Structure 1
């Protein structure tokens, strides 16, 4: 036999053996158990696949072994149905697969409890039920699994205590994170599992102290995660006995006390997270023993004292984040020993020294923040060597020599974000500066700088955000500002600028059209940015530059002239503030074309004429003021104008309307005073009438007083509801008596209207937690200690009470775990209020785009869970109540305490305009989410909702807003940008850099789903049911 023949024989024999193993019939008992298991699932694909094949060893997700006995039927040893879209309960028959070694049902929608007969699986080595909807306790279910090596029950709703699980001698990894386990911390699992290496108890409700860790000291524990619980007390000495630890996560608890010098015993530590606790005192100077340390994140504590000098011995250190503490002294760390340093954040401390010279040796440094300290001196010339630097914040210090500092930093060619706010007090702004070709954000506010706006700024062609507020700049605003194609945020407020508003300001391309709107500026570093936006110059914080609302802020200057009608071309502008100037003329009607405006402030000017009635089309307007001008005529009605207070219009004697004084019609128009003929007839008869009226009024007041006293005697609440809301009493009476209806699912059954008013501070602006086309949302702290979200509807369609009540009650019957629960409604005067469950973690938009650590906190598995939850909620709406949402976006996806997604604002268009015979899109839809066909058909469809959901998926994948307004020739809106990257085969550039690269396969799969959803042809988009199915089939690997 030749060598080739021998090779062929071996291959044939191997294939035959494999085929024999694969085709050998499985054990009939196993086959029956699997069929019973499938019978309780809601998944046609699994059932159909399994029913067409007799031999269960050939079934999808099933692996068999013969156990060495070739004559016996094969036993099922592995069942892997991860991400198959399974719904339903886990059958008790699963416990009869007693040959099973691996059970993976992760990333599905299984619900119910974990049955105790799982403990019958004596051969089980791997159990993964993560990312489902399982609930209840797990005690008893795992008892007896002596061979178990890996348990992953994360991201479910399991409850109870885990400390008495039993003995697991082979256990290596145990993950129960993101559940609802409670009780005091216990470490018995270490004594019962001597081989455990990974222990993840994060994101639960454990409390008490870290006690009993001595039992873990004799094992090789590599990862210990207890972050996001409510653990308290000081760190025990036993923690420092875990010498094998590589990752230690203690963040977001209530720990306090000093860090012990025994920290030096954790010599293998690579990542140490202890932020957002109550630690205080100095850092122990023992980091010389932690030579493997790569990440130290200890921000948001109360650490004090100097920087420990031994940090310089951690030569592998890449991230050092100690912001928001009370550290002091000099920043005298020897940075020459930290060549790998990538992120250094010492902001919001009390350091008082010059900037460290040695930092210039950290050539890999990209992110540097020394903001809000007491640093002095100049920017060292050696900082010109920091050529990798992209983000630099030195704001709120006492630095000097702005001209010299800019001459140094211009050599940092990659610098895209430069924040120098509150330094260089009283200096002159330099006139001749070069460089800064990559600069996208430049903040030099609140420095008291003299001089004029320099021309060199216009050579920074990539500039997107420019803040020169709160200085002493004079002269006019240069007309060259119109050259800045990418500029979308401009703040020149609180200076002494004169002259007219340049017409070039109305030609900013970045604010004109959707086609040029996108953002390549991504500072998702977790470092907050600050801008000054109000009269007190207090800082308003934004997490990312892409979160800055497109704005033009020119308030509190000496500008004159009129407002250019061409300003209406800036359709993408969100905030326009021209208050406290000397602007004259009329308010251009073209402003009504700026349909994305959220804030419009024209107060304290010399404007005359009327408020254009078309302003009621500005459906996103949440803050509006024209106070203290010379305006007259009627205030627009309907839309958001129902929600503005009277202070928005005060100081204009000629204005009239519901919110201030009624308009009186005459031949000319509307007046707020009596006509001249009435004044001429004023005489003794009028005086007599007034006297009688006063007498009647006094009698009425006495009657009200007596009524109040009698109410107090009978125990009835004495709150005068008409005094609790800023509206003339007769207006309230005209719409009928107040009415409050609570549904069966309401958390507070005995709620009253007075409670609503009190819990929202009479709908005070400080209680606003959201706004949109349907009105404002207020946070309400209810008397029973719970919270609610109150939506104050702004529609004005004149719907009858009976019809309105019927629609609301129909919406209340839309019950699904991924919908925000409607608990009741209230009619008070012409106000209609909807009472919703309060979502503790706010909106997805907040976490993706606003919160400081939001992007890094939202790991990929959390993002996928949110996407799946939102898709399930939308699928329910489309199928059960048959509701088109019409405004799917990240701000309408709310997150509870477990980061489960809940759709909000569904069905509201039917409440506001019930007489529409078809669903039009003139009321709702948010820029960036609106399907292209809506501009032509004006008809909302289920496939339109799918398009909007596809954009949400892109946001989860990229971390970008769908319509970010910073421009460039190669920039597009998010949808266009994604398609461009795909056409260039550069998909890897699409994904958010904070997402673990190990998830690339799943990212690509979700990207494929998103691209199907945003297909330009609505007929080719999938249904939301198909989207849910696809998302359920995606398996996320361990990160």
Structure 2
């Protein structure tokens, strides 16, 4: 098959060596053997595949990484090379290789040893570099700061030592207000693992990677350069579990858990919103209830840095101190809470036990039962957490159908043959528990044809499981922005249908459900589509109940960039009109076929809301509409929906329509109800 351009046999059970005869397919541009049981070396004949742009061999048992790199360097068009989980325990080669066009290089989780190789300096177009979960030693070479395009560097979970070089603060692309990406798609997802306990995070395109520097779980010492604050585009700077000392510069906001910091945590910027886990494991660090004049902060206790800084000696004693203090505080808070609860009566308890599963199921859930508690289950059969494990093939990555802020969503086939979607919440214990309870509380109260249906829930060890009805067509975000031909399949009539269904679901939350619910995270990825493309509003992990006579709820600054209403950043209060703003952004996505924030667009066009407003001011409304849906006979309907969207995104929340008005206006568009 000499004209073959794509060969993707990922996620099968193929065994043996790669066939050298495949080199005859010299038109191949995409080659994926990921997640099989292949072994042996990469055939030298593959050097003839000069058209290759994407190669993924991850999750196999290939050998001789030197030979593999020597082969693929001949593929001059290669932009993505994923070798994760291969070449176990080999030395990373120091020979000179030439990958001048490489944008993504992932060689994580291979247990490689040696130093960060000098030949990487030749990869001048690198945007994503993953060397995590190896056994690399030595220091971070200063020349990494010379990469002009790099936005994502993960060298976590190695044995690197020494000071973090100041040159790392020179990364040109991270000094911009928004990092630029060059090229916007990958042929298959790349999974990046940040925890042994939690599955890898899935990234489908380069623009999906958060601008990040993961330097955690090494043996770095010294202090933090204040110049890290100059990396304006940086979203994540993880320095946790190292041996860094000194104070925290006020120019940055970071996770610095398990180091040897001392002094007060700054209160400016976004420090007020950081969880305590971002600073834990620093005995000399003081914050809020632990002022710096306290005995612990001034006691001079520091973690002893062992001679072999790559180790983890000394954490046990530190954790002992933390656990002891936590237990003491927990007991004190328990006494206070018991007294408060007696004083305030049983109102709150009764509210929490209104979950439709009933008081019996509530007590079983609280006691840590591994039964899955179902709503409206009629067959009388119990389902256990082990049944869910089998239904998802032990939460196999091949079954991942979505990801959220606190977990992944898996496709499951239940014992009775029905399909389901299982959200597995993991991460920060406090926030995870809040999201879990918010979902159960909201969806046990709210039942509507345009809301996703919660079938059941379960607590299993440190995990929280939520079981939903399966939505055959995934999310609106997938069809508009991820699927290659998705936009062309979503004609105007279908988009209008989705808009109306989503509005009806939101109207139920705001007006009919008792008490009313503020969603707080309305966006296209939280609008799921069934087999008939009926819209179902989903993901209530950030939702809040709003009781009669209340006008708002106090909130942290939560939500998704591009959908957050402007008033949230000023008042930290969530209102029903905030959901209206977010829904208006979704309407603009349906009309324009563009993301709310697109860093690949030119300056002035990256923020969808601002761009739409500018187009209307300049009288260029026709440029707003997605060319896929533009037809002259639909111009009136398109303009009507654009007017509705613009009313929803009004900067003055008081001038935004209510959701009842939005539903009424949308029903008046076209002939469908």
TM-score by length of 1: 0.44
Shift of 1:443: 0.3
Q: Counterpart of 1:142? A: none
Shift of 1:419: 0.2
Hey, what's the Cα distance between the residues in 1 that align with 2:650 and 2:53? 40
Say which of 465, 489, 500 aligns to 2:128. Answer: 465
Hey, what's the Cα distance between the residues in 1 that align with 2:119 and 2:508? 56
Q: Does 1:734 align with 2:389?
A: no
Shift of 1:636: 6.0
Say which of 538, 558, 567 aligns to 1:924. Answer: 558
Kindly tell me: are residues 958 and 552 of structure 1, through their superposed partners in 2, closer, same or farther at Cα, counting changes over 3 Å?
farther
User: Contact 1:551/1:573 (CA < 8 Å) preserved in 2?
Assistant: yes
Kindly tell me: are residues 957 and 482 of structure 1, through their superposed partners in 2, closer, same or farther at Cα, counting changes over 3 Å?
farther
User: Contact 1:743/1:812 (CA < 8 Å) preserved in 2?
Assistant: no
Hey, what's the Cα distance between the residues in 2 that align with 1:750 and 1:444? 50
Hey, what's the Cα distance between the residues in 2 that align with 1:928 and 1:743? 36
Larger Rg: 1
The 5 A counterparts of 1:497-536 are 497-506=160-169, 508=171, 515-516=178-179, 520-523=183-186, 525=187, 527-535=188-196
Hey, what's the Cα distance between the residues in 2 that align with 1:364 and 1:1003? 42
Hey, what's the Cα distance between the residues in 2 that align with 1:892 and 1:382? 43
Shift of 1:916: 9.1
Kindly tell me: are residues 793 and 449 of structure 1, through their superposed partners in 2, closer, same or farther at Cα, counting changes over 3 Å?
closer
Q: Does 1:444 align with 2:107?
A: yes
SS at match of 1:375: strand
Q: Counterpart of 2:459? A: none
Judge which range, 1011-1020 or 422-431, deviates more: 1011-1020
Q: Counterpart of 1:840? A: 469
User: Contact 2:517/2:543 (CA < 8 Å) preserved in 1?
Assistant: no
Hey, what's the Cα distance between the residues in 2 that align with 1:924 and 1:515? 20
Count the aligned residue pairs.
572
The 5 A counterparts of 1:876-915 are 876=508, 885-890=519-524, 892-893=526-527, 900-902=535-537, 905=540
SS at match of 2:262: strand
Hey, what's the Cα distance between the residues in 2 that align with 1:519 and 1:954? 25
Hey, what's the Cα distance between the residues in 2 that align with 1:941 and 1:732? 29
Hey, what's the Cα distance between the residues in 2 that align with 1:849 and 1:732? 45
User: Contact 2:169/2:230 (CA < 8 Å) preserved in 1?
Assistant: yes
Q: Counterpart of 1:607? A: 261
Kindly tell me: are residues 894 and 440 of structure 1, through their superposed partners in 2, closer, same or farther at Cα, counting changes over 3 Å?
same
User: Contact 1:627/1:649 (CA < 8 Å) preserved in 2?
Assistant: no
Shift of 1:583: 1.7
Q: Which runs of 5+ in 2 are unaligned?
A: 291-314, 373-384, 390-394, 396-401, 410-419, 432-439, 456-463
Hey, what's the Cα distance between the residues in 2 that align with 1:936 and 1:610? 26
1:276-298 CA-to-partner distances (Å, cap 9, x unmatched) read: xxxxxxxxxxxxxxxxxxxxxxx
The 5 A counterparts of 1:144-293 are none
Q: Counterpart of 2:9? A: 345
Hey, what's the Cα distance between the residues in 2 that align with 1:790 and 1:404? 39
SS at match of 1:422: coil
Kindly tell me: are residues 867 and 395 of structure 1, through their superposed partners in 2, closer, same or farther at Cα, counting changes over 3 Å?
same
Hey, what's the Cα distance between the residues in 2 that align with 1:508 and 1:888? 34
The 5 A counterparts of 1:699-718 are none
SS at match of 1:499: strand
User: Contact 1:458/1:481 (CA < 8 Å) preserved in 2?
Assistant: yes
Kindly tell me: are residues 563 and 1035 of structure 1, through their superposed partners in 2, closer, same or farther at Cα, counting changes over 3 Å?
farther
Q: Counterpart of 1:580? A: 241
Hey, what's the Cα distance between the residues in 2 that align with 1:1034 and 1:383? 58
SS at match of 2:129: strand
Shift of 1:368: 3.2
Q: Counterpart of 2:417? A: none
Q: Counterpart of 1:420? A: 83
SS at match of 2:502: helix
Say which of 219, 222, 229 aligns to 1:561. Answer: 222
Shift of 1:492: 0.6
Say which of 4, 11, 27 aligns to 1:363. Answer: 27
Hey, what's the Cα distance between the residues in 1 that align with 2:657 and 2:403? 31
Q: Counterpart of 1:432? A: 96
Hey, what's the Cα distance between the residues in 2 that align with 1:958 and 1:390? 30
Q: Counterpart of 2:608? A: 975
The 5 A counterparts of 1:27-42 are none
Hey, what's the Cα distance between the residues in 2 that align with 1:606 and 1:457? 32
Shift of 1:374: 1.9
User: Contact 1:357/1:380 (CA < 8 Å) preserved in 2?
Assistant: no
User: Contact 1:377/1:400 (CA < 8 Å) preserved in 2?
Assistant: yes
Kindly tell me: are residues 375 and 1029 of structure 1, through their superposed partners in 2, closer, same or farther at Cα, counting changes over 3 Å?
farther
Say which of 631, 635, 646 aligns to 2:284. Answer: 631
CA RMSD of aligned residues (A): 6.1
Shift of 1:459: 5.2
TM-score by length of 2: 0.63
Kindly tell me: are residues 736 and 561 of structure 1, through their superposed partners in 2, closer, same or farther at Cα, counting changes over 3 Å?
same
